[in-house]
Structures are given as structure tokens and as C-alpha cells.
Chains A and B, each alone.
Chain A
Amino acid sequence: MIAAPDHVLDYPLATDGDIAVINLASARQQSWSRFWQDPQRPGIAEYIVEQEQLAAQYVGDLKALDRLETLVNQLDRVSSGAMRTALIHAQVAAMAHRFGEARDRLTQAEARGAMSADVQRLSLSIDQACGTRLQSVLEVRQRMAAESGRLEDLVPLGSLLADLGNFDEADRIYDRALREYTDVSPFAAAWVCFQRGVLWGELVPEAQSSRAAVWYRKAIEYLPCYVKARVHLSEIYLQSGNVVDADSLLVSVISSGDPEVNWRLADVLAATGRLAEAEEQLQAARTGFEALLERHLLAFADHGAEFYAGSGNDARRAFELASTNLANRPTLRAFEQAHEMALGAHETQAACEILVDAGELWGGTAAFRLSPLSTRIHSANLESRRAAR
């Protein structure tokens, strides 16, 4: 595995993040005005989906999903039988991790004449998010990336390679995406940097925190309001005892309303002994997560599970949410999370069953051999053999 430090000095110039965020907000508002004037205007609903996706992904605007639900409800009212309504519905359902519904809507869109490229693009995303047919997804992603060379095709390929345990190749693809990007949107550049942070900080078997921190910092440099990058970087700072920087990273984005910010801030405050304030933040996080889970259970089940398994301190709720997530999308990561949370909730039998299921579904893959579940299965097999003797 490549362990050399990354050099991030030469990467693309991009429009200042503050300008880009102001421009996104103002253009998004303009698009909604156009939509309300004429919901069937060609291209407008599709454009709003993209803008809301940017708002959710980079600005931590969690109301984006609610607004998109409004969009599809309105489209259902004015053109329920239209191909584009089904396609947009599928996109929004996929964003909310309602993958079954997304597939149904996609089938509907296809039957109504949706372009095969649009159907394939979303279908690939759903398969990748659910961990299904990954080998064929990989082949198509590689072909698309080779043909277009566009960042929008390269980053999903990098992400898939990382899911499959091919970390160095994933990093090379991310590197290429940045080097070959020929526009000036900071969203694109920040996205790639964030993915590289996640790759080296969370996905590799032995996290390289300082390497991940470089990329999270670069993502924030491109886009100061990048909530998720701030949250991830603050975790690294906190682990290394740098509570001052962890605190300042989070305080400036607390207004985003993302409960993950409250949660991590609670951890930082607790580490500095400010227990009453920490409890306040923890309560805000709990309320925030529950509000999100009530509206979009599948979209936030994995994050909710992490919260309750950590400072949220409710192992049963964590296991319940992790199980929900696993049933919705049986990725290797979902298995790992559900298994860990089953053990945390003392659900030994359930943990064993999850392990067996994971082995059946993922056992033959390279990624599984790098997973902690692989070691557990191996130990469990040894124990059964010993018991059989």
C-alpha cells in the first residue's frame, strides 16, 4: 500500500468556497421560483435535484431531502405518468437510500422511454450503494471513466475500488480526477479531497490519520463550510488530543443543523471537562438524529447507529438501526457495523448470524479478507473445529 505523504500543493485553482456557496444558494432559490412557475418546464426539476444534492452533500443542508420530497410530490400532482417524474422520483428515493422504491421508479422510467444512459447511471449508483453486482458495476465504471475521463465518472470508480479493497488504485483514480479537472467549481475539488480523506482515514485496514487529515484540510480549504469534512477532521484532532482545533472546526458549522456536529462537539467538550455543555450538545444531537430518522430512516440509519453506539449510549437502538441499514443495503461495511453493534447490545446469536451471512455474501472477495469479519469467521471456525473434536 502506498504510504508516502500526499502533495496537495499543485491541485486545481477553484472559485472561493464562500462565493460558490452563495452562488449555489442564490441559483437554487432561482430554480425553485422557476419550478413553482412551471413544474413541467424542461430541465428545471432535474437541475433542482442536482443543486439540492450539492446543498446536502457539501453545505450539510439536511432539509434538502425534505425539499426534494416536496419536488416529487408536486411532480406527481402535475405529471404523475411522465417518464421524467419517475426518473426524478428514482433519484430522490436513491438519495434517501430508499433503494427498493428507487429501483421500482427506475423500471417505471425505463418503461416510459427514459434514456438508457440515465437509467444506467442511476442503476449503477444503486447497485454500488447496496453492494450488489459489484464486479459488473466495476467493469461499467471503468469503461465510463476511460471513455469520458470526467471527474463525475472517476470519483465513483475510485469509491468502488476502495469498497473492493483496492485502495492504492482508488487513490490513483482520485488523483487523476483532480489533476484532469478542467473547471473551477470548489465542490468538485473538495469532493475528491474528502473521498481521499475517508479512504486513508477510515477505509484502509490500518488508518493513516495524518494522511487523511491532509486531505480533509484541503477539502475544507476548497470549501470552508464543508460540514462532513470538518466533522471527520475534528475526530482526528480529538483522537490526537488537539481539542482546541477540533472545537473551532465544529463551532463554526453548528448552525448547519447536522446532529453529527452536536455529537462530535459534545465529545470535544467532554474531553475538556465541560460536562454540562457536552450534555446539552448530546441532547441536541439525540433530538436531531431522531428527527432525521423519523423523516428519513433509511438515509440516516447507519449514522444514527454510530451515534447510539458511541456517545449516544444506547446499544439496543444502535443495533436496531444498524440492522435496518443492513436489511436495506447489505454492503460489507453494513455487515461490519451490524455485527459490531450486535455484540455491543449483547445479541450474540444475532452477531453469529450476521457473521455467517456476511461470509456467504462477501466471503469470496478480496475486501472481505481485509475485513475484521474475516478474522472473526476464522476464529469461529477454529472454535467449532475444536468443539467438534
Chain B
Amino acid sequence: METQAKAAPAAEAAAVVPKKRKRNKISRRENNWRGWLFIGPYAVIFSVFILIPVILAVILSFTNFNAIQFPQFVGFLNYITILTNDAEFMKYVLPNTVIYAVIVGIGGYVLSFILAWALCNLTKPVRTVFALILYSPSMTTGVAMTVLWKVIFSGDQTGLLNSWLMELGVITEPVIWLTDTRFLLPIVIIIGLWSSMGIGFLSMIAGILNTDATLYEAASIDGISNRFQEMIYITIPQMKPQMLFAAVMAIVGAFQNGMITSMLVGNPSPGYASQLMVNHIEDYGFLRYEMGYAAAISVVLLLIVQLFSKGANVLLTDKDPYGKKGAEEEDG
């Protein structure tokens, strides 16, 4: 964070000064072991269960490994296979993942901003109740709700959706939702969207509520008259840090959620219709025991997530110093 101070405008630099003075003071003491003492335990666990697995995934991705014999080095073979030889990946898994990520990631992101903004225009009691309802689906990451989706999308007449649609006359006989390849991906997308108002959504609410009141006054004097203009010209520029946090959360969520497919329709899903990358990893790693290949897909997945997050960073990091100040020093 402090690297910002270099490029920061005068206003911000002024706010940083007291911090700096303290740093000099504290840095006179013996600091290194103090810092590491406090962060050490976390760092160890982080390394063992996050860092090392990632490094191992990268190493394994260059090997042929069946979980019994010692991994054999095969160079880039796994990556070449992904690109040229894995028909299911290119034909189903990648397109599915892209479609899912675009609709659930971007769609869910836009939706959560619009909802967050709408909620902030309401009074606190109403806002709290609505926020609770909208956030609650994201608490139940998949598993707990499988039974629910099974009942709703049940393939016979006792299925809730079938019964409703038949009553409305949209369909004349029950649709077997969970085996019909036409509907699998849309169903998984709907479930994804349903649970996409997560912590990023809460962050956006807080970001909007924390925008500087005086700016709205100034804006109304300058002739901004409706809520929409207010949102575009004042709210969004001020809450870019929260927008970025929410974007990262949306991206991670969009690529991580996939387990629901396995729960609902099994792995691999019928006709690979709703197979996402995480399912493909599980398929190769734990069902076919081609762990080297599965690791290569993992690495690709992690890279894609990084790439998208970088993209969000470029889009949302503020170049103009005015906006940068916004939410940052607000509570300070």
C-alpha cells in the first residue's frame, strides 16, 4: 500500500505523513523478528496448504503421474494435449466455462452492483432485510442446497418447475431437466447467479454508503439531477477500490463454483453439457487418476483467474488522483 505514496498527489501525501513518521520511529527498533513472530504461524500454514500445493501443481503438470508410480517427466506434453488432443476440453469444457464465467461472473457482478446501489437508496431497515435475503444464498455453497435443486428441477410431474410450467401451459409434459443436455448449463448458470450476491456485494453496499456526502451536494449544484447521473459520475468513481474487490471475488467465484454440477448431475455430466473446468480437473484427477494432466488443467485454471483479475485491475484501478482519495481516507 505504501508504494502509492510515491505517486500520490499532494492531498494524499499529506494524509500519509504521520504514518511515515511512526514507521521511522518503529523501524529504529529490532523489527524483523517481531514481524515474523506474528506472521510466522500463518505463513507456515499458508505455505504448506496453499503455496506448496500451487508449486506442486506446476511441477506435476510437467509429468505423467498416476498416483501410484513415481511421476515421470514429460515436458510440455500435458499442455500440448490440452490444446490439441482433449476433444472434450475444447468442445465442451472450455466453452462451458467461458459462458458460465461471463454470465455468472460479469452478469452477477453487474447485478450485484445494481442491487447494491438500489438498496443504498432505501432506508436502513428495508435495506438490511433485503440485503440479508440477497446474501443468504451465497452462504450455502452448493452442497447444502443440492436437495432443493433436485426437487425444483425434478424430472417428473412432482417437480416444482414442471408443475408450474404445466399449469401455465408452457409445456404439456414434464421436462427431464437434469438429464436434458439442452438445459443443464442454463440450470447451473441460474444456480450460480442465485448464489452470486456474496461478499463482493456486501463490499459494494458499504462502498456506496461510504461515499462522500459533500460531493453529492456539489454535484446537484453543478446540475446533476437524477440518480443515474449521480451513480455514473459520483458514486462509481468514489468506490473503485470496493468495485475492484467485488470484481476479484466475482471472478474467483465464477471459476470456483462448479462442484454443484457434480452434486446435481454427476461427473462427468450427461454429454458433458455442464462440465466446467473444476469438474474436468476432478474427472481426470480423481476418477481417471491422470493426475499430471489434471494438474496441467489446474495450472491453466489458476492462470485464467489471474489473467481476468489483472484485467479487472487495469479497468478499475484509478488513474485520476481525485477518485483515488475517495473511499480510502474516509474512515481513517
Q: Do A and B come from one complex?
A: no
